[in-house]
Amino acid sequence: MADSRDPAALYPDIATEGSLAAALQAMAVRDGLSVSYQASESAALRQASVASRTPHRTVLSISAWAVERRWSIRGCESFQDLALVDGSTGDLAQIARAAQAWHDGEELAEIHGVAPFVHLTGRFEVADGDPVRLIESEWQHLRTEADEMDWPEYRALIEAAYAEPVLRGLYPFTSHWTLRFSTSIRPRLTDVPLCLDAHRQKPYTVSTRYMGEVVAEATTAEETVSIAVHHLPSDLGPATSGAD
């Protein structure tokens, strides 16, 4: 097995090029692609990035694994720095194709189309940073994430909360799979004192603070949501950006 402390042992071809960015650049030239890569100053053999022409996207981060010959990507939206795409593959050519599509501003589904390893997180792009749209995007992420999990109770809780208009208008987020809510988007969350938990083959629980005392139990996700709405503060305002 290659020594994980020495990336040159696991990635000798990358080492020959001098950096992951240079290796990707050479592959881009070979395949007729036009994207430019930025090398990492601290981990040249393991990390690289590529900018996007789309202003509401961050750079696409590309990272090499330490103990297996494989690469991961992560591309975020710029307002909250949350992932729109991620994924990993052992095929560097697919990394290059995904990077080109990200750089060119291709639609998220089209990036997956040219590089099938790319995983869509469920979030969608909101060019103007509208908080209402960003809230909807985060709900779509949670629904996508829950649908991919082997945890029917959690999936039922997310769907039941999304189906309730009052909760759907709040910004959803999770802490260790506890469903929580805010009246503002990241990075300045305004925490609503309400936490919902799903448990495998156990009752759902509602508490008014994270890791706090349980105030109610329920046998179904729908009942849990109904209890949660009853415990909501009466003075909740409209969703905001959270900016000063």
Confidence of residue 236 (pLDDT cuts 50, 70, 90): confident
pLDDT in tens, 142-169: 999 999 999 999 999 999 999 999 999 9
Averaged over 184-206, what is the pLDDT?
94
Q: Which of 215, 238, 236 is nearest to 227 (CA)?
A: 215
Starting at the earlier edge strand, list the strands of the sheet with 204-207: 171-175, 178-182, 191-197, 204-207, 214-218
In which residue are the tokens 């759907």 written?
A: 168
Neighbours of 117 (CB within 10 A): 18
- How do residues 172-184 score in pLDDT, each as one tens digit? 999 999 999 999 9
Please state the pTM of the whole predicted model: 0.93
